[in-house]
Amino acid sequence: MLRYLIGTTFDGVRSLPTHSVDLVLASPPFLAQRSYLPRDHPDKAKEIGQEGSPADFLAALLSLVDECGRVLAPHGSLAFELGDTYARNAPGWPRPKSLALVPELFAASLAYGRNLLRPEQTLEPWIVRNVVVWCRTNPAPKRDWDTYRNATSYVTVATRSTDRYFDMDVARLQRTNGKLMPTGPPLLDWWLVNVGQDRGNGDHFAPWPTEVALRLIEVMCPRRVCTTCGEPSRRVTQRERVTGTSGRYESSGKYGRIQTEDDKQGVDLRGGVFKNRRVLGMGWSDCGCNTWRPGMVLDPFAGSGTSLLVAALQDRDAIGIDLNPMYAAGVEDRCQRPVEVVSL
């Protein structure tokens, strides 16, 4: 099921049932970067990203996060990608030419439960699990000549659960003896994904590459969730201890991997202690209720529908919200699946 809601992101999220979404992911318009609505659009004043100061922009994002927290399932996660902007010569901004540090302020405000630029605005604190750095080797042309070229944005990944759904193994699957086994290295918190690595994006100015959406959806949105008990089906991996301590390092670090010379099986290095583990097989947890629904993705700034496309390709359901109706027209063709378009 794919739905595209035309209206403000607040109206769209408020229309959704409580705990009905497993992953909220979005690339909100960056502050003072570009407008996605014509100047004469009746909802121009409601467009996020056109606020007069970083404090106002942060206030809008945090209010939206509060709404998203209601619709997010207890095991769910939220992932917002933000870039930065340089200060304007206006009240409420840093000194001219300084970075506004919007991504850092957003992540810290979630963790500490208050708008750091407007402390009277509070919210329930989130658990910030990662701030992923998205790197590009083909960024936009540079304007200033006294700074390094801007080529990064930041995906803040947060949750309210200490036991959220997170399938690290899905990104580590490699074929071993004819079977898919999670033997690859864990994902890093920086991603090299170029702009333009994507299918057609219609007329959108700044579309996500499908690779970015894929890395978020396949790891943090379960394939199925029980409608009776609310539990997601989680990957279960069976491992056994392997004898032998000789080996060579393939990589280092707290969760590095080595491979023993005698049995050639994977070995985990945790806190300096060698623990040999051989992967025997994989399966999925089953709560026994037999009342499953597909995982649900919500993108409050859907644009040309990259999140909906990737969700469909990964057999998940998805809901997108956007204020500009022109983007909805091409989403169904892009997804090659029926999309229910609803005007709020």
| pLDDT reading at 316 higher than 70 | yes
Q: What pLDDT is attached to residue 257?
A: 34
Q: Could you tell me which residue, 80 or 184, shows the higher pLDDT?
A: 80
Q: For residue 60, what is the DSSP state?
A: H
Q: Could you tell me which residue, 214 or 171, shows the higher pLDDT?
A: 214
Q: Where are the domains of the chain?
A: 2-234+286-343, 235-284
**Greatest mean pLDDT among 144-153, 199-208, 237-246:** 144-153
Q: What pLDDT is attached to residue 116?
A: 97
Q: What pLDDT is attached to residue 33?
A: 82
Q: Could you tell me which residue, 4 or 272, shows the higher pLDDT?
A: 4
Q: Could you tell me which residue, 304 or 246, shows the higher pLDDT?
A: 304
| pLDDT reading at 9 higher than 60 | yes
Q: By mean pLDDT, which of 21-25, 50-54, 184-188 is the weakest?
A: 184-188
| Cα Rg of the chain (Å, integer) | 22
For the domain bounded by 2-234+286-343, which CATH number is listed?
3.40.50.150
| pLDDT reading at 220 higher than 90 | yes
- Give the pLDDT confidence of 98-149 residue by residue, as tens digits: 999 999 999 999 999 999 999 999 999 999 999 999 999 888 777 677 889 8
With beta carbons less than 8 A apart as the criterion, state whether 83 and 29 touch.
Answer: no
Average pLDDT over residues 70-86: 96
Q: For residue 90, what is the DSSP state?
A: S
| Average pLDDT value over all residues in the chain | 83
| pLDDT reading at 239 higher than 70 | no
Share of the chain above pLDDT 70, in %: 79
Dihedral angle of Cα 198, 105, 63, 301, to the nearest 10 degrees: -10
Q: Could you tell me which residue, 247 or 67, shows the higher pLDDT?
A: 67
Dihedral angle of Cα 117, 122, 128, 131, to the nearest 10 degrees: -30
Indicate the SS3 state at residue 153: strand
Q: Say how far apart CA 31 and CA 57 lie, in whole Å.
A: 7
| pLDDT reading at 296 higher than 70 | yes
Indicate the SS3 state at residue 54: helix
Q: What pLDDT is attached to residue 205?
A: 54
Residues contacting residue 207 through CB under 8 Å, at least 6 positions apart: 198, 201, 303, 304, 306
Average pLDDT over residues 153-173: 91
Q: Say how far apart CA 245 and CA 226 lie, in whole Å.
A: 42
CA-based nearest residue to 266, from 169, 125, 123: 169
